[in-house]
Amino acid sequence: MLADLLLQHLNDAKPQCMFGKWLVEQEDAIQDLFNQLMQKEKKNISAIWSDLNSTGVPFKSSTFKAHMRGDCSCPKQ
């Protein structure tokens, strides 16, 4: 019984923040561009958020900023 519960948690999908969930639904080209932004050493996350927010994205600025800093619940690469 306990082993079954623990196995269920081990086999569950990896956690993702709202931005991470949204990102995997985007086209490959968009995912690639965000990955490039993540790797960029100097980036203005607030300016990127401001531009993204005008498109009506389904996540908040704190979620986006945490993801871009690598502080969210998404698996680390």
Domain assignment of residue 40, yes or no: yes
Domain assignment of residue 1, yes or no: no
- The first and second tokens of residue 9, run together, are 């948690």
Mean pLDDT of the chain: 89
- The first and second tokens of residue 32, run together, are 């690639």
Number of domains in the chain: 1
Domain assignment of residue 4, yes or no: no
pLDDT at 77 over 60: no
pLDDT at 74 over 90: no
Burial (0-12, 13-18, 19+ Cβ within 10 Å), 30: exposed
Domain assignment of residue 3, yes or no: no
Domain assignment of residue 47, yes or no: yes
pLDDT at 16 over 90: no
Domain assignment of residue 58, yes or no: yes
How far apart are the C-alpha atoms of 3 and 5, rounded to whole Å?
5
pLDDT at 5 over 90: no
Residue 48: which domain range?
15-69
